[in-house]
Amino acid sequence: MNAALVSVRYASALFKAGEKDGSLLETLDRDCRLLLDSLKQSKELESFLASPVVKPQAKKDILNKAFGGKLHDYTLRFLELLINNNRASILKYTLMDFTDMFRSFRGIKKVKVITAIELTDTLRTELLNILEKQYRCNVELECKVEPDIIGGMILIVDGRQADGSVSGQLRALKKQLMIN
């Protein structure tokens, strides 16, 4: 079975369970973001959970030790369900699908901005206000610094990219010069 389809089904089940109680839904979103951050920071944890060699009980024990006091009991039981069903390898994708569902439910648009230098708080707030006005919804802004773009910025919204970087303009100019 397609792993993407399976992860969406598990995420959807978790979302529907949390939807019955609004405060639980908020808690599940917070827990999923915490788990996602942990998986991004520790590739070892992700490999450990995905390993077919590691016994399910060992996976549960590690998760309980690492996240026992930090996660809601419902989230811990959900993790145990994934492990019991041999689906721990799709945990990361399930968490991402859940957070996407939560954003959609709350009317939040995720926007990624890439700049050559760190945005000041003032610029970040101004950009956030412009984007929220433009899209007429709440915006979750993810900022990333990539010095290679030299200057300007790259915006990524709903899988579409607007490249206003200096390096992007140089690539376009080079392409134009190659054509002529």
Domain range annotation of the chain: 3-104, 107-179
pLDDT per residue of the chain (180 residues) written in tens, 0 to 9: 577 789 999 999 999 999 887 789 999 999 999 999 999 999 899 899 989 899 999 999 999 898 988 999 999 999 999 999 999 999 999 999 999 999 999 999 999 999 999 999 999 999 999 999 999 999 999 999 999 999 999 999 988 999 999 999 999 999 999 987
pLDDT at 78: 95
pLDDT at 21: 79
Q: Specify whether the CB–CB gap between 103 and 95 falls below 8 A.
A: no
pLDDT at 1: 53
Q: Which CATH number is associated with domain 3-104?
A: 1.10.520.20
pLDDT at 159: 82
Q: Tell me the two tokens of residue 78.
A: 């959900």
d(CA 78, CA 65): 16
pLDDT at 123: 95
Calculate the alpha carbon distances from 78 to 29, 96, 171, 172 in Å.
Answer: 13, 15, 47, 48
pLDDT at 95: 96
Strand ranges (E), 57-176: 108-115, 138-145, 153-157, 160-163
